Amino acid sequence: MIRKASCCCGKCTIDVDGEPAFNAVCHCRNCKKRTGSAFGWSTYFADGQIGSRPAGISIYEVGGSNPQQRWFCTNCGSTLFWKAANLPAHTGVAGGCFADDPVGPPSVTVSNDGRCAWVGLPGDWRTSL
């Protein structure tokens, strides 16, 4: 199954083939800042599942303990996908960017020491990738 993820304005899209290898929410400071929310919803696909990179997209580098490259729409600023050093053979795609063609619910929660006390999650989710 081919799914399309898109930015807020719809000018940038990326196609993925099949199901994500990992479907998680992350409570790290980096993901919170990326999304402006209490956590980030990250779907990771093997690099071979990713279609061509879209036009109208720019990249920026994130340093720190898990360096990343993030691609974002130059028109609306939405982060659409990224590569992280800790998962070199996978590409992360923002779970919410699949709004028109959704992926299933996450089943993993990571960086739980940063989780906001008011965020409740299902008890059967794994706590690591």
Supply the pLDDT for residue 26.
Answer: 93
Supply the pLDDT for residue 125.
Answer: 87
Interval 40-90: pLDDT, tens: 999 999 999 999 777 788 899 988 887 899 999 999 999 999 999 999 999
Sole residue written with tokens 């996450």: 106
- The sign of the CA dihedral 34, 91, 69, 99 is negative
Supply the pLDDT for residue 69.
Answer: 94
SS3 helix, strand, coil % of the chain, rounded to 5? 15, 40, 50
Supply the pLDDT for residue 108.
Answer: 92
pLDDT for 6 beyond 90:
yes
User: With bands split at pLDDT 50, 70 and 90, how would you rate the model's confidence at 126?
Assistant: confident
Residue 126 DSSP class:
B
Q: Where are the domains positioned within the chain? A: 1-66+99-116
User: With bands split at pLDDT 50, 70 and 90, how would you rate the model's confidence at 14?
Assistant: very high
Half-sphere exposure of 20 (CA within 13 A, CB side): 23
Distances (CA, A) of 33 to 27, 28, 126: 10, 9, 23
H or E, element range at 15? strand 13-17
- Compute the average pLDDT of residues 11-35: 93
pLDDT for 94 beyond 80:
yes
